[in-house]
Structure 1
Amino acid sequence: MNFLHQAISQAFDTIFNVQIPENQVNLEQTKKEFDGHVTFVVFPFIRHTKKSPEETANILGQYLKENCTQVADFNVIKGFLNIVLNDEYWLNTFEQQILKEDFGFLKPNGEKVMVEYSSPNTNKPLHLGHVRNNLLGYAVAEILKAAGYEVIKANLVNDRGIHICKSMLAWQKFGNGEKPETAHLKGDHLVGKYYVIFDQEYKKEIEALKADGKTEDEAKKQAPLILEAQEMLQKWEAGDDEVKTLWKTMNSWVYAGFDETYKKLGVNFDKFYYESNTYLLGKDIVEEGLAKGVFFKKVDDSVWIDLTADGLDEKLVRRADGTSVYITQDLGTAQLKYDDFKMQQSIYVVGNEQDYHFKVLFLILAKLGKSWAKGLYHLSYGMVDLPSGKMKSREGTVVDADDLIQEMQDTAKEKTEALGKVDHFEDAEKENLYRMIGMGALKYFLLKVEPKKRLLFDPKESIDFQGNTGPFIQYTHARIKSVLTKANYQELKVTYPSHLAETELDLIQILSKYPEVLASAAKEHNPAAIANYTYDLAKSYNKFYQTESILKVEEENIKQFRLQLSCHTAATLNKGMSLLGIEMPERM
């Protein structure tokens, strides 16, 4: 639209003898209830024209119509100049932009960004919260990649600590040598089972101690199981061979289980960091902060930073006994990540319960003079709730990812078979289709909502072939593929029609906006922008499909143009949905 910025700037100069820089000419998409494609708001400029908003807009509109070949007409609503662009402009846009092979991919910008997501604990399976985290992190990474960034997908695994020792100890005491293959359980579920057993047995010991006259607090601290778990952690930190061997074995079970779940979710990683390797990091940064006067010591030798002037509080960064706290480790890991990759941006995909933690972390790094701290960003997201009673987890508290994935595929199968449209499919193709529909519904539903918002997810409602859902967009893609197959379509040089139907023009207009939407989604770290764009595009195509004949139109050039328009709509739907990790069926 640079030509319009230039033409409007020239109009001000020619008519009103006023120099308005092109970058101050802001254009908006015309609202659907008005006629036009682009709107220029004249209110900010009437002080230069010395005329009413309506008169200013009419004068500018007439100038554009007479002097700008792409402008077909205009109308004025108060101070809003709605500009109608001609068919030639839109057909040129289609040919020069949408048909290009690199359409929908922005040029490399030379910037490197790390997106850290997933961050599981190795004492239990991935759950519903992890699902949103993984899908959000993966989508943001893919969007940034398409927007021209070099992207590193990172996963910081919490593989050490007292919670890990609880699973290990319970397996030692109650496992009888059980392994994933003998238990017929995924490794992460087996280890999670013993974490639950530890909690159950620990509670029994607490009740027994309370019955002997101990207080709740005393019982929790003196229960034999927790004392043994603490001893096991000390042995782990001291490098005890037996404990380390058990830790490696049980973690290997968990990692194998995680890998299966990641594969089902369709997410991947370029770099893994492990807290067992990073938990001692940060101690040098504490010394650096003390030397710079950023940190201070209290009388008990503990080290703190005072952030009260920044509206926060005092924050402990090293205990009196010299041991690290969680933020110490995060300071060290942030430095390690930067040293490894020298990225301009580092995005942490973490739930909103950690908002305060990241404010403190980023502020400390800035105060330490880390030049790269300005590129740190917390992509905060809300909780996911399920309607009560819709699904039950193995432990009855948290819905784990594998159960949710299976539920989605089962629901997809049930709803698809009820429509009776896949009876002629081979069994393998059916199962693959149910997987694509189920996962498409899950991913789309979780990603179409802006990350910061808490959302209520109903698996059955998400699998609907009408409305703002993944399956609706998948079905639109399959519909287009069916049309192209029936036409035996091959892309050829097309002679364009002299006039565009309204639905054709609408479709080209929305297709042309894809690069702009992609750039905005990357800048805002917001996959919802891509999700809702693909829905609007699918709606626009379906209106075109219902209104215009494609295969039966008599004029061959119109038929070929509509097939070409259909083909590139499918390609753009596929590009957008693939950024969300959603596969598009060829037929449904």
Structure 2
Amino acid sequence: MANTIQQTLVEQTVAAVKALYGADIPESQISLQDTRKEFEGQITIVTFPVTRFSKKSPEQTGTEIGEYLKANVEAISAFNVIKGFLNISLSDSYWIALLNNTIAAADFGKFPANGKKLMVEYSSPNTNKPLHLGHIRNNLLGYSVAEILKAYGYDIIKANLVNDRGIHICKSMLAWQKFGNGETPESTGMKGDHLVGKYYVVFDKEYKKEIDALKAQGLSEEEAKKNAPLMLEAQEMLRKWEAGDEEVISLWKTMNNWVYEGFETTYKQLGVDFDKYYYESNTYLLGKDIIQEGLDKGVFFKKEDNSVWIDLSDEGLDQKLVLRGDGTSVYITQDLGTAQLKFDEFGMDESIYVVGNEQDYHFKVLFSILKKLGRPWADGLFHLSYGMVDLPSGKMKSREGTVVDADDLMAEMIETAKTRTEELGKTEDFTEEEKAELYHTIGMGALKYFLLKVDPKKRLLFDPNESVDFQGHTGPFIQYTHARIKSVLRKAGYVENETKVNPGRLSSYELDLIKALSEYPSIVEASAKEFSPAQLANYAYEVAKLYNKFYHEESILKAEDEDVKAFRLTLSASAARIIAESMRLLGIKVPERM
């Protein structure tokens, strides 16, 4: 869905090389780029690769090709050559027609279904504590990538693999049993995930006391950790859980349900959703059949203690344990089983795992094993690895003093949005309900945009105050621009219609904005192919910046004649729609007024 003018220029440049120099050059060798701002033109053709056919200087080659293109491509109004760069200027009539016939159309930027199915797995929380700042980046990335791929034509399944079993879950359960005095979310007024997280912290505190007491009796740190009564009890509880002990299972279900209710509230506030939940309590045994298959095929080998391993040293990944000697699963075991289960259930062409970069090695091993086992779908697996999120120290107190709680962070963002908006004094005519919705929209937009505008691979410093700046490279700036456009359209009584309006000529501000809007489909395509919302986020900011320049430099409602006014309103409506759609794919709402 790239702009047809680019394809036309590539094809005609190939034709020019044939006509002028009698040579065949593949289209892949014709390089187009945006013209640099200091030069005239909008599209630049790099002519260096052609000089081997022309046997002339890059400047002379560029001039000859430019003359050929100007004679054969109606849209070209002028060209200039700087060294080996042929800068093409397209006529105002080309850009005007592009806005009227293509950009302003309701289906602009819409991709047809591509017939491929893709699963995006994200969130993947543990049920022993609430979601934190790292989970926020994970959820926003996963949701946005899924929405972008859906817009690009994929059939998308959003999946959440919940880690609801294991020793860490038993720690919360045991601490609640010992120290909880029957507390419930109802009796305390706490969200269920926070209540369970509280007892995970209690376990850690009491466990450390026991370790210190044992060390005082002469045990080493390692011995004290292994022999602390709480840890031994937690391990016994895990054994009972795995054996299906009714009392333990009942407590586990009760506390997990508290957590799930808490998670759902957080997910709703965050604006993310899932089509399918998987639970490790249902999947952790699945990989054992695959381990046996791997042994039979000679992919795995057994050691003397009966543990099962794979040797991936030829891929620089060392030897990896895939099943303990006592027959119990490790993480890779259940991930093998879950990968098979997901494919059996959905048969998707590709599957993306949104997981932090501390798991890079794990996923290299997982994908390598599945390929060695001969799974044809293993080539479609991808780990979307992302960096950690840091906060400027002292900006925010978390409930536990170590991690930043997602609910606390979102509440603070909404409060900051409220303070900033009230300082600007533009909500006097809003009802209390409208104000609350606006503050939520701005606060969450600030948080989401700040986390998504950075390339996923990069570690990132999140500054809550900087993110709610109405003038900076922020979500609220883009939201404010959208509200400004909607205000202009309301004042004009603008109604979208099929009428094509020709203002005759364009200002540089109009031309720059139309050119940026025309790039929307190729930005969606690039974001989809790279699994990176950052491209789309930065594009939305560029469009907002260009619109504001246009708004300040050109009169819209008081334009010199009706055709110019109608054209500028069509341009404004197109900008609003593309900003709104770009932000929607990032999971960000844009207000109609601010």
TM class, shorter-chain normalised?
A: over 0.9
Which residue does 1:199 correspond to in 2? 204
Q: In 1, Cα distance between the equivalents of 2:228 and 2:10?
A: 74
1:533 to 539, 545, 554: 539
Q: In 2, Cα distance between the equivalents of 1:70 and 1:22?
A: 20
2:381 to 376, 383, 404: 376
Which residue does 2:232 correspond to in 1? 227
Alpha-carbon deviations, 1:261-320, whole Å to 9, x = none?
Answer: 000100000000000001111111111111111111122222111111111101111111
SS for the counterpart of 1:390 is coil
2:581 to 559, 562, 575: 575
One-letter code aligned to 1:466: Q
Q: In 2, Cα distance between the equivalents of 1:218 and 1:299?
A: 26
Correspondence list, 1:78-477, <5 A: 78-477=83-482
Asked if structure 1 preserves the Cα contact closer than 8 Å seen for 2:17 and 2:50, the reply is no
1:517 to 504, 516, 523: 523
Report the aligned-residue RMSD.
1.0
Q: In 2, Cα distance between the equivalents of 1:119 and 1:31?
A: 44
Asked if structure 1 preserves the Cα contact closer than 8 Å seen for 2:100 and 2:501, the reply is no
Structure 2 unaligned blocks of 5 or more: none
Which residue does 1:495 correspond to in 2? 501
TM-score by length of 2: 0.98
Asked if structure 2 preserves the Cα contact closer than 8 Å seen for 1:494 and 1:560, the reply is no
Q: In 1, Cα distance between the equivalents of 2:324 and 2:18?
A: 68
Asked if structure 1 preserves the Cα contact closer than 8 Å seen for 2:240 and 2:248, the reply is yes
Q: In 2, Cα distance between the equivalents of 1:299 and 1:243?
A: 34
Per the TM alignment, residue 64 of structure 1 is displaced from its structure 2 partner at its CA by 1.5
SS for the counterpart of 1:82 is strand
TM-score by length of 1: 0.99
SS for the counterpart of 1:348 is strand
SS for the counterpart of 1:151 is strand
SS for the counterpart of 1:346 is strand
Alpha-carbon deviations, 1:143-170, whole Å to 9, x = none?
Answer: 0000000100000000011111111111
One-letter code aligned to 2:89: V
Which residue does 1:564 correspond to in 2? 570
Per the TM alignment, residue 9 of structure 1 is displaced from its structure 2 partner at its CA by 1.6
Instruction: Tell me the matched-pair count.
Output: 588
Per the TM alignment, residue 15 of structure 1 is displaced from its structure 2 partner at its CA by 1.4
Per the TM alignment, residue 364 of structure 1 is displaced from its structure 2 partner at its CA by 0.7
Per the TM alignment, residue 424 of structure 1 is displaced from its structure 2 partner at its CA by 2.3
Alpha-carbon deviations, 1:51-79, whole Å to 9, x = none?
Answer: 00010001111121222211000011100
Asked if structure 1 preserves the Cα contact closer than 8 Å seen for 2:54 and 2:61, the reply is yes
SS for the counterpart of 2:286 is coil
SS for the counterpart of 2:236 is helix
Alpha-carbon deviations, 1:510-564, whole Å to 9, x = none?
Answer: 0000000000000000000000000000011001101111001131111111111
Q: In 2, Cα distance between the equivalents of 1:276 and 1:324?
A: 12
Per the TM alignment, residue 206 of structure 1 is displaced from its structure 2 partner at its CA by 1.4
Per the TM alignment, residue 23 of structure 1 is displaced from its structure 2 partner at its CA by 4.2
Q: In 2, Cα distance between the equivalents of 1:581 and 1:549?
A: 32
Q: In 1, Cα distance between the equivalents of 2:249 and 2:179?
A: 19
Alpha-carbon deviations, 1:105-147, whole Å to 9, x = none?
Answer: 2111111110000000000000000000000000000000000
Per the TM alignment, residue 21 of structure 1 is displaced from its structure 2 partner at its CA by 3.5
Asked if structure 2 preserves the Cα contact closer than 8 Å seen for 1:188 and 1:253, the reply is yes
**Bigger mean CA deviation after superposition, 275-284 or 418-427:** 418-427
Q: In 1, Cα distance between the equivalents of 2:523 and 2:138?
A: 22
2:511 to 493, 501, 505: 505
Of all paired residues, the percent bearing the same amino acid is 68
**Bigger mean CA deviation after superposition, 533-542 or 421-430:** 421-430
Q: In 2, Cα distance between the equivalents of 1:12 and 1:118?
A: 53
Alpha-carbon deviations, 1:452-501, whole Å to 9, x = none?
Answer: 00010010010001121000000000000000011111123132111111
One-letter code aligned to 1:326: Y
Q: Are positions 1:545 and 2:551 aligned together?
A: yes
Alpha-carbon deviations, 1:153-200, whole Å to 9, x = none?
Answer: 000000011111111111111111111011110000000001111111
Asked if structure 1 preserves the Cα contact closer than 8 Å seen for 2:29 and 2:49, the reply is no
Asked if structure 2 preserves the Cα contact closer than 8 Å seen for 1:494 and 1:557, the reply is no
Asked if structure 2 preserves the Cα contact closer than 8 Å seen for 1:104 and 1:575, the reply is no
Per the TM alignment, residue 30 of structure 1 is displaced from its structure 2 partner at its CA by 1.2
Which residue does 2:490 correspond to in 1? 485
One-letter code aligned to 1:503: Y
Alpha-carbon deviations, 1:547-583, whole Å to 9, x = none?
Answer: 1110011311111111111011000000000001000
One-letter code aligned to 1:25: I
Q: In 2, Cα distance between the equivalents of 1:23 and 1:216?
A: 63
Q: Are positions 1:67 and 2:69 aligned together?
A: no
Q: In 2, Cα distance between the equivalents of 1:409 and 1:72?
A: 50
